[in-house]
Structure 1
Amino acid sequence: MNDWQIFTGNSEPHDNWELPAPPKWRPFGQEIDQNKNRNQVRGETFQPREEEIKMINAALYLRRPLLITGKPGTGKSSLAYAVARELMLGEVLYWPIASRTTLKDGLYSYDAIARLQEVKQQQNSSKASSIEDYITLGPLGTALLPSAKPRVLLIDEIDKSDIDLPNDLLNIFEEGRFEIEELVRLKKEIPVVEVRTAYTADISHEIIEGRVICTTFPLVILTSNGERDFPPPFLRRCLRLTMKEPDKAQLVKIIAAHLGKEIADPNNSTKLTNEALNTLVDNFIQERNSKTLANDQLLNALFMVTKGRIDTKDGLIKQLLQDLGQVEEDE
């Protein structure tokens, strides 16, 4: 079964090799539809449960943020892309959280140094420097712009934040508005400015007197791996959902969404039998009881069976399904 290996380790250079088509979730420019990115594909292939569907609808009706807790790989982030795709709400605004992330990072950025340098360079020029060229709305700030339908904002891994960030978000979630201080100070001289937003398409938007006031509260999805507790005032303002690990029937749906064609193709010499597929899924579920495993690890293993032509009992399968919760010790 070693004929599938491209790198042989025999020190003999060779270029008569070719990679198979990439996994559906790792296309890198080889998408069937070039107008789609990987996040859009995530939205297409996500398989929501009934309780997840209900909580999304509750968040939309109640105009409340939805705090989703669950183990890595359970689809917390993918849910946001699935909602945006089905409801045609446009690009998901993504705000990844780190320990030093502040509320202002999410609202807007102002490059004061660049503007100062520009002003100095233009002192002897008739062209005036415009402040709007140095302000960019962040994901949260963009989500709060006036709109007919809610924008989708994904605040990823909120449990990694500084202890103050959840409380700092409370007023924004309640009021749905904020001010850009640099523009408020100039509102008499420059009442209307057009600033860049957080959209990847670099869309701009008019800001009047430095204030952003939402007309439709965005669908805010906050994800957490359950690594910390949040203050009661923050939890009171959020709806909460715990994403469970998929059972066997749901795993089969996920596999079919990602690898259905490859597994079912009768012309595929490495076609998985139902028995072999069931065994892999059953073993994955059993291992998951004592390990931290993500769904995409199982997909990786299945891809290597169908495209890499390895046997379902190959040692590589075990290595692809290593516990995410601990580092393997040297034997």
Structure 2
Amino acid sequence: MIFQSTEHYIASPELALAVNAAVTLEKPLLIKGEPGTGKTRLAEELAASLGTELINWQIKSTSKAQQGLYEYDAVSRLRDGQLGSERVGDINNYIKPGKLWTAFTAAKRPVLLIDEIDKADIEFPNDLLHELDRMSFDVYETGQRITAIQRPIVVITSNNERELPDAFLRRCFFHYIRFPDKDTLTQIVLAHYPTLQADLLTAALELFFDLRAVDALKKKPSTSELLDWLKLLVAEQISPAVLRDKQHQGGLMPLYGALLKNEQDLALLEKLAFMARRAGR
């Protein structure tokens, strides 16, 4: 398998190499990077390019590793027993397969996305070590062993909100998605908006990179937020001239709410804009 950029996803040579290396080694691919740099989209495009199923396990702060294997609904079984239901006789009626179970038993090799693993508690990655290593687990209530028909392609994303255990990291192939440079970002934008006016794109990218260069920003705007902003600029028919005027006259960019996501950053930009206007007098 050779993964490369797709029609709607621009992968750097380093990222494509990481994907192919992880598949060759049959190790989980651990992807880190700023929010909005396309980590989740990578798994979606990888599955689409292979013509296979994407199994998405979205991790939350309350997620437990056991949920990825299966869940046993003892409460429902107790209730059905009290009601005299015939379902009680078969314990399988109360076992719900998790995402790993689904991936292990898929007829065609799927892509299993474990999305934002760093949201869970610190024990979550360690609790998955055995299953990801051996590609099997036991269902204790039935004595059944679930073994992978074929090893799924595992993509794990992290926003770096917390450190992952060393034992877990050793079992992964790691890649950090660096924020794209101007040329790469231009390719990404054109993959989404191929008819975008060149002058508008140039002016927008200048403003966007100027904004990201402000060191004191609490949250720098991401690629996905740039795409949202460009969509709004086109919808509102904002001209390149307007963007350049805002940039040179020390004003906030139009529709800044697509790029700035907290009041501290907005206050900082307003202060910088005020200082730039005073300096220009």
State the SS of the aligned residue for 1:260. Answer: coil
Match of 2:9 among 28, 46, 63: 46
What's the counterpart of residue 131 of structure 1? 91
Aligned pairs, number: 250
Amino acid at match of 1:130: D
Structure 2: runs of 5 or more not aligned = 1-5, 244-252, 271-281
Q: Distance in 1 between matches of 2:145 and 2:106?
A: 11
What's the counterpart of residue 112 of structure 1? 74
**Deviation for aligned residue 1:301:** 1.6
Amino acid at match of 2:166: P
Q: Distance in 1 between matches of 2:97 and 2:81?
A: 22
Structure 1's 128 and 169: CA in aligned 2 closer, same or farther, altered over 3 A?
closer
**Deviation for aligned residue 1:120:** 2.7
Amino acid at match of 2:172: C
What's the counterpart of residue 165 of structure 1? 124
Match of 2:254 among 313, 316, 329: 316
More helix by share: 2
**Identity of matched residues, %:** 35
What's the counterpart of residue 26 of structure 2? 63
**Deviation for aligned residue 1:70:** 0.2
2:160 is the alignment partner of 1:232: no
What's the counterpart of residue 250 of structure 1? 184
What's the counterpart of residue 205 of structure 2? 281
What's the counterpart of residue 38 of structure 2? 75
Q: Distance in 2 between matches of 1:289 and 1:50?
A: 25
What's the counterpart of residue 103 of structure 2? 143
Q: Deviations over 1:279-323 (max 9, x none)?
A: 111221232233411112111221122222234537433332215
Structure 1: runs of 5 or more not aligned = 1-42, 185-209, 264-271
Match of 2:154 among 217, 220, 227: 220
TM superposition score normalised by structure 2: 0.80
Q: Distance in 1 between matches of 2:88 and 2:230?
A: 60
Match of 1:306 among 230, 234, 248: 234
Amino acid at match of 1:152: V
Amino acid at match of 1:310: I
**Deviation for aligned residue 1:182:** 1.6
Matches within 5 A, 1:3-42: none
Q: Deviations over 1:53-73 (max 9, x none)?
A: 111111111110111110011
What's the counterpart of residue 89 of structure 1? 52
Asked whether the equivalents of residues 297 and 321 of structure 1 are also in contact (C-alpha less than 8 Å), the reply is yes
Q: Distance in 2 between matches of 1:137 and 1:44?
A: 34
Q: Distance in 2 between matches of 1:277 and 1:74?
A: 19
Asked whether the equivalents of residues 44 and 85 of structure 1 are also in contact (C-alpha less than 8 Å), the reply is no
What's the counterpart of residue 199 of structure 1? none
Q: Distance in 2 between matches of 1:76 and 1:51?
A: 14
State the SS of the aligned residue for 1:73. Answer: coil
Amino acid at match of 1:154: L
Q: Distance in 2 between matches of 1:175 and 1:326?
A: 48
